[in-house]
Structure 1
Amino acid sequence: MIANMSERGLNLLSRLWGEHMRASFPPHMRRREIEGEDMVLLDTEIAGCVSSSLSGPLDERRHQVLLGCLAAVEKVLPLIDDEGGAIEYYERLREMAALAAEIGNADAR
């Protein structure tokens, strides 16, 4: 059952990753901080962890980075204006971070 959950999660993560790679970064989020979070850095860190998780299980350091990013995106998401599709962009980042963390937990069992 865990393998099936992990496989479904991996398929969804792969699809979301493809969408993310085709999406443009919202220009007004460059050089912007919300609640002390650099929005470009948040995107970069989540994308790096997601990319790594699609290649295999995350190591402990990347898993911890991912969990920190997930908390950060949860904190800033309600404060993002929707200019240029920013909410959709960061909601997808949040979903990918949550899936990658969930897949990592399933793989660790």
Structure 2
Amino acid sequence: MSESSEQVQNAVRLWHEHRRAPFPASLRGAEFGGTDMVLLDADTAGCVLTWLNNGGTLDPKRTRILQSCIEDLDRVVPEITEPAGTRYYQRLRRLALLVSRTLPRPR
């Protein structure tokens, strides 16, 4: 199995796991450092779903959005104190990183 097909399979598995997980109620309406947690989830998930639906590719705009989401996730995940919220956003971050590794590097 090639590395990219393994990454796609891992991303699909994590995506299904993420879709089944309930959004942490304590994070509805929450912000960390000006980052709305619901929007961060929606933006990241939108990029991942687009990547999955487009056969492992993202347009430049969504690539930039995904990179911004990863930066936000890196910053806010350590601030989440509730275990379910931490698990939820750590999984979302792993998923975003998996997707980003398959994308061409910006020039």
TM-score (norm: length of structure 1): 0.90
Aligned partners of 1:82 and 1:11: how far apart in 2?
29
Provide the aligned length of Structure 1 versus Structure 2: 104
Match of 2:100 in 1: 101
How far is the alpha carbon of 1:4 from its aligned partner? 1.4
TM-score (norm: length of structure 2): 0.92
Which SS does the other structure have where 1:104 is aligned? coil
Gaps of 5+ in 2: none
Q: Which amino acid letter does the alignment assign opposite residue 12 of structure 2?
A: S
Aligned partners of 1:23 and 1:91: how far apart in 2?
12
Match of 1:59 in 2: 59
Aligned partners of 1:86 and 1:43: how far apart in 2?
11
Gaps of 5+ in 1: none
Aligned partners of 1:33 and 1:55: how far apart in 2?
30
Larger helix fraction of residues: 1
Identity %: 38
How far is the alpha carbon of 1:82 from its aligned partner? 1.8
Q: CA RMSD in A?
A: 1.7
Deviations along 1:5-27, one digit per CA (max 9) or x if unpaired, are 11111000000000001000000
1:53–1:104 Cα contact (<8 Å) kept: no
